Structure 1
Amino acid sequence: MRQLHLAAFMIAGPVAHSHALWRHPRSRFDFLRPEAYQQIAQVLERGKFDLLFFADRLAVSESYGHSFDVGVRYGDQDAVRLDPLPLLAAIAPTTQNLGLGATVSTTYAHPYSVARSFATLDHLTYGRVAWNIVTSVNDGEAQNFGVKTHLEHDQRYDRADEFLEVACQLWESWQTDALVLDRERGIFADPDKVSYIHHQGDWFQSRGPLNVPPGPQGKPVLIQAGASGRGREFAARWAEVVFAIQPTLAQAQQFYSDLKGRVQAQGRSPEQCKILLGAMPFVGETEAIARQKQAEHNNLVNPLVGLSTLSNHLNYDFSQHPLDQPLKELDIQGMRGIWDLVQHLSAEGTTLAEIGQRYGASVLIPQIVGTPTQIADQLEAFFQADACDGFMISPAYLPGAFIDFVETVVPELQRRGLFRQSYSGNTLRDHLALPRAPGAELSAPKLFAPEFYTPGVSV
């Protein structure tokens, strides 16, 4: 029986898709302490989740009103974000099975450093790491890296395509059995199985080889969230997990069918790209209690904080428009998929203030509300209708929203045979039923016996 996949969405900061998260009375989340993230990861691992991943951006938001006043004052998505890469290293030793993903931008990094970091993390996590690939969205990020304006939308993806070409060449610059570690003969590695890449392209130059041999997965799992036509083409070529925001069943089915077709057109099996729909659950003992939780959460959101994040996502200043009117047609260069959803709301007569409130509540991630059985019914309906391969669960408060889901909804999904009872493999690729690089398991011969690392054994 086909089973769904579950991932968890986080930002290493005070909010996620919910801008009410940091001030929610149910939240007990010290976003500056590693223990807070370790606890959440352990909850998700108890729930047999495939993956915890951290979204990221590289600037404090100042798109709304050309100032960071609103975003910092009310706590938008970009007021504070810790660097997610070292956070993965802090979480890894406290978990054994949960996949761990971090966002890195292809616009403001170099393939060599990114390939090196993720190859290292693949070793440190024993093959559980994922890279969420973004191209960044706004001028604030550009200016933090000494660039006056952000690259145009399609140019960012052109650069990202070459970035991935270089990164993959670097991950493959060591053959998977290049390490020898023959102590008796004094042979560390076979130089005939390590190669330069000599890449000279439009955007990057890199000689190689990488100075980290391939990890247990061969390369990290690649995550992407492009929703525009160009973004979908990029995802079809590279992505192994796609995070999607689709508010209705019909829209989700259309997206699923379109992207799977593009994946196949790239010569890949559709099964090599898992599409996960965003969902924000509110679980209660009764539907009335769940709806009360939803209302309590949504009423905490200031419309201006939602508009601050929306302005940052779309690289556009929405402060210049009246709050009490729907938006008109605009030229937007930010996240095209988000803009399509906002335009749809405006066409229905939704005012800018109402859009801000809804965006602040969930960044247009659908909120699903009900008892554990009702939540499972809604997830199952989308899954069985070929609208997704699983779900990216986004919390309304922490850690309680994940605890509620793991303790009440996951058992219901397991009872229906829709979700695993236990982990059946060791790597994130195993959890997602994705192929490893050929022979990746040969890449790490053991120099010392396992008991050498046993806690309490003196060395």
Structure 2
Amino acid sequence: MSAPRRMHLGWFMNFTRPAWTTPWVSDAEAREWTDGEYHVDWIRAMERAKLDFMMLEDSSMVSDGFRGTMDADLKHSLYAPKHDPLALAPVLARETRNIGIVVTASTSFYPPFLLARSMSTIDHLSRGRIGWNIVTSSEDRAAQNFGLDTLYEHDARYDRADEFVEVVEGLWGSWKPGALVADRATGTYVDASRVAPIHHEGRFYKVRGPLNTLPSPQGRPVYLQAGGSPRGREFAARHADAVICAAQGVPAMREFRDDVRTRAKAYGRDPDDVKVMFITLPVVAASRREAQQLFEEMQNPSETAVEISLGHMGALTEIDFSTVDPDAPLGDLQTNGHRTTLEKFTGLGGTLREATGRWATRYTNPAFVGTPDEVAAAMAEEFDEVGGDGYLITGGGSRRAIAELTDGLVGSLSDLGRVRRTYEHDLFRDNLLAF
């Protein structure tokens, strides 16, 4: 009998405060997360459980997308305060040895040269474990912090991103193998004949090059991407090493994965080199009864939880949901922001109040509720049915929640032979491609 297929696992989080309103986070910790120590403890637990990577999301604004003020965003710390994940990555790298560290950076706001240089530097500092979550951003308020009145049109952002990736890959390739010679006899540190400008002049960018950093261990970072729109899927299929998907239910999950793999093949890529990671929010507890109770609380949010959800939706879509009648059917809403997020939200049906109540449990996979052993078995069953590559865990936010998932759930998955028991390689990309 053949061994069961193994799944890749990552964890989605922010460089922000822990779940400070829960009883499992101290008052001091709610204020002192800024030194990075909380996230160091988190990634160490993940590495002990042999997860593939930690993914650090990011945004560059204080949102006023709900009721037209910043009150909800700051009161509930939704999009601020949030610190820079690129600065945290080297700290995490020094405290770990194997796990991948994925940071988010926007092609709409970063200059290509600066992004290429920063990623190359961090790949050196991590000895080949850095990844880049490629985003095009979705918020006008963020754009206004970078000299723009509004964000570029949705599909045009991906056109810019395609050229951005072309530029940074040109910069990473501007040093040829063997450029570093460190020859004491001739006094030559770098062979100049192996370093050349790229002289890129395109539709959106003009960059001379070459990059002024040495080639990094991976050559380029691992690419993650989360576009769910047709244009986003096309970008992911062309570039991404791993694609993040928020589909619900086996048919939708299978359709997404099959579509991305077909698109990747059209670009001449091996579809097996594009890992599709499904977002999941496992509800794990010591007993099924306790887990089910937590799940039911998520389905029946308090007024505070509703405000938090609508604050998030307002930031992501640039739609102020305080102006929408909470008890009227959701109509046809349009956005230049997160289109897939809005489509999934309005697709929940019913009124705004009803959709908000369903959001927490239906945006991510709602099937995984129970003890660690029960959730692990359900994940393995769905994984086999979908034919997927792995899961991106979301949630957590306290050391108890981290332990429940790393020691509990991942421990049970390990007992089933469904996750790695060791890191097979030194480089992040090689571990991602190991199975």
TM range (shorter): over 0.9
Structure 2 match to 1:108: 109
- Which of 295, 317, 320 aligns to 2:320? It is 317
Q: Do the aligned partners of residues 396 and 322 (structure 1) sit closer, same or farther apart at CA in structure 2, a change above 3 Å counting?
A: farther
Q: Secondary structure at the match of 1:373?
A: helix
Kept in 1, the 8 Å contact 2:8–2:52? The answer is yes
Q: Secondary structure at the match of 2:347?
A: helix
Residues 55-81 of structure 1, C-alpha deviation per residue, up to 9 Å, x if partnerless?
Answer: 0111111122222122222332x1221
Give the whole-Å Cα distance in 2 for the aligned partners of 1:131 and 1:185: 38
Q: Secondary structure at the match of 2:282?
A: strand
Give the whole-Å Cα distance in 1 for the aligned partners of 2:378 and 2:74: 36
Residues 71-122 of structure 1, C-alpha deviation per residue, up to 9 Å, x if partnerless?
Answer: 222332x122110000111111110111101100000111100000000000
- Which of 61, 68, 72 aligns to 1:66? It is 68
Give the whole-Å Cα distance in 2 for the aligned partners of 1:14 and 1:295: 25
Structure with higher RCO (Cα < 8 A, 6+ apart): 1
In the superposition, the TM-score normalised over structure 2's length comes to 0.93
Kept in 2, the 8 Å contact 1:305–1:356? The answer is no
Residues 26-46 of structure 1, C-alpha deviation per residue, up to 9 Å, x if partnerless?
Answer: 345543231101000100000
Structure 2 match to 1:36: 38
Residues 303-333 of structure 1, C-alpha deviation per residue, up to 9 Å, x if partnerless?
Answer: 0111111011112222211112231012222
Structure 2 match to 1:199: 200
Kept in 1, the 8 Å contact 2:164–2:205? The answer is yes
Give the whole-Å Cα distance in 1 for the aligned partners of 2:216 and 2:271: 25
Structure 2 match to 1:385: 385
Q: Sequence identity, in percent?
A: 36
Q: Secondary structure at the match of 2:348?
A: helix
Q: Secondary structure at the match of 2:20?
A: helix
Structure 1 match to 2:404: 404
In the superposition, the TM-score normalised over structure 1's length comes to 0.89
1:246-285 map, 5 Å: 246-285=247-286
2:395 counterpart of 1:395 = yes
1:1-20 map, 5 Å: 1=3, 2-14=5-17
Residues 142-167 of structure 1, C-alpha deviation per residue, up to 9 Å, x if partnerless?
Answer: 11112111111011001111000000
Give the whole-Å Cα distance in 2 for the aligned partners of 1:423 and 1:222: 19
Residues 340-399 of structure 1, C-alpha deviation per residue, up to 9 Å, x if partnerless?
Answer: 2112112xx2x212333444x468222421111211122112211235210111124322
Matched residue type, 1:398: S
Matched residue type, 1:34: G
2:342 counterpart of 1:344 = no
Structure 2 match to 1:130: 131
Kept in 2, the 8 Å contact 1:5–1:391? The answer is yes
Q: Do the aligned partners of residues 363 and 295 (structure 1) sit closer, same or farther apart at CA in structure 2, a change above 3 Å counting?
A: closer
Structure 1 match to 2:424: 424
Q: Give the RMSD, CA atoms, in angstroms.
A: 1.9
Matched residue type, 2:373: T
Q: Secondary structure at the match of 2:92?
A: helix
Matched residue type, 1:408: G
> Does 79-88 or 400-409 show the bigger shift?
400-409
1:58-457 map, 5 Å: 58-76=60-78, 78-295=79-296, 299=301, 301-346=304-349, 349=350, 351-359=351-359, 361=360, 364-367=363-366, 368-433=368-433
Gaps of 5+ in 1: 16-20, 436-459
Q: Do the aligned partners of residues 325 and 27 (structure 1) sit closer, same or farther apart at CA in structure 2, a change above 3 Å counting?
A: farther
Give the whole-Å Cα distance in 2 for the aligned partners of 1:389 and 1:417: 15
Give the whole-Å Cα distance in 2 for the aligned partners of 1:88 and 1:362: 30
Q: Secondary structure at the match of 2:244?
A: strand
Matched residue type, 2:158: Y
Per the TM alignment, residue 131 of structure 1 is displaced from its structure 2 partner at its CA by 0.4
Give the whole-Å Cα distance in 2 for the aligned partners of 1:206 and 1:342: 40
- Which of 24, 27, 30 aligns to 1:26? It is 24
Kept in 2, the 8 Å contact 1:249–1:387? The answer is no
Q: Do the aligned partners of residues 363 and 251 (structure 1) sit closer, same or farther apart at CA in structure 2, a change above 3 Å counting?
A: closer
Give the whole-Å Cα distance in 2 for the aligned partners of 1:189 and 1:83: 33
Matched residue type, 1:352: L
Structure 2 match to 1:450: none
Matched residue type, 1:231: G
Gaps of 5+ in 2: none
Kept in 1, the 8 Å contact 2:424–2:434? The answer is no
Matched residue type, 2:40: Q
Q: Secondary structure at the match of 1:170?
A: helix
Q: Secondary structure at the match of 1:385?
A: helix
Kept in 1, the 8 Å contact 2:298–2:357? The answer is no
